Amino acid sequence: GAVVSQHPSRVICKSGTSVKIECRSLDFQATTMFWYRQFPKQSLMLMATSNEGSKATYEQGVEKDKFLINHASLTLSTLTVTSAHPEDSSFYICSARTGRLYNEQFFGPGTRLTVL
Amino acid sequence: AQTVTQSQPEMSVQEAETVTLSCTYDTSESDYYLFWYKQPPSRQMILVIRQEAYKQQNATENRFSVNFQKAAKSFSLKISDSQLGDAAMYFCALRVGYTGTASKLTFGTGTRLQVTL
């Protein structure tokens, strides 16, 4: 149990276009979802935290208008990278937290975004 | 603010041997969790072990155990009988607060573990 999926796993787009990444908790309801960005050989950097039905809370330095996060249901959150540029190329990882004991947090497999 | 420091960018261990990965952290809070996550080449983050700060007993999960020194704010991971499948990036992480949506993970910079034959 406690599986988090991401779609797509890999996406290549042209500069200036928008890309949407989906994150789903497949067998549990996620009270909170998190979006991370990971550059090669670096750690995970938290971009934003979202609760179902609420606006996302963005970390300092993360552009809200560029990285749109929607948490429409307890099992789905989306990250839209608007007007993508080559510097947005990165590995994006979502994570979902249950409301159960320990508030366990489970990670998706990640999405590799390449902006040409 | 919370910080997590992993001072070993890379470590190497021979198969069947034991290796210890270091982690120190800083927080002014009294209630927190500490975690070790494994990120293999597939990039999927996998929880290795969890430690609650209020528990004095060190957590163990099969071949994985921690040495939690609360006063020293140290949280090292020991891997016994290392296997080739243990090769991965290991991240130490801290989460302040046991409940509440405001609590979030702070990650260290990671230690890349190589396992040799």
Which residue of B43, B50, B111 is the best one to mutate when testing the A interface, meaning the one whose CB has the most A CBs within 10 A?
A: B43
User: Cα(first)–Cα(last) distance of chain A, in Å?
Assistant: 37
- Residues of chain B in contact with residue A51, where contact means CB-CB under 8 angstroms, are 101
Residues of A with CB under 8 A from a CB of B: 31-32, 34, 38, 42-44, 46, 49, 51, 91, 93, 95, 97, 102-107, 109-110
- At A42-63, the pLDDT tens digits run 999 999 998 887 889 999 999 9
| Whether A32 and B101 lie within 8 Å, measured CB to CB | yes
CA dihedral A98, A49, B49, B17 (to 10 degrees): 140
Contact status, residue B2 vs residue B25, Cβ threshold 8 Å: yes
pLDDT recorded at residue A48: 94
How many beta carbons lie within 10 A of that of residue B91, not counting itself? 24
User: How many whole angstroms separate alpha carbon B117 and alpha carbon B12?
Assistant: 11
- At A78-97, the pLDDT tens digits run 999 999 999 999 999 999 98
If we measure between CA atoms, which residue out of B76, B33, B12, B56 comes closest to residue A102?
B33
User: How many whole angstroms separate alpha carbon A48 and alpha carbon A34?
Assistant: 6
The percent of residues above 90 in pLDDT, for chain A, comes to 73
Which residue of A6, A44, A59 is the best one to mutate when testing the B interface, meaning the one whose CB has the most B CBs within 10 A?
A: A44
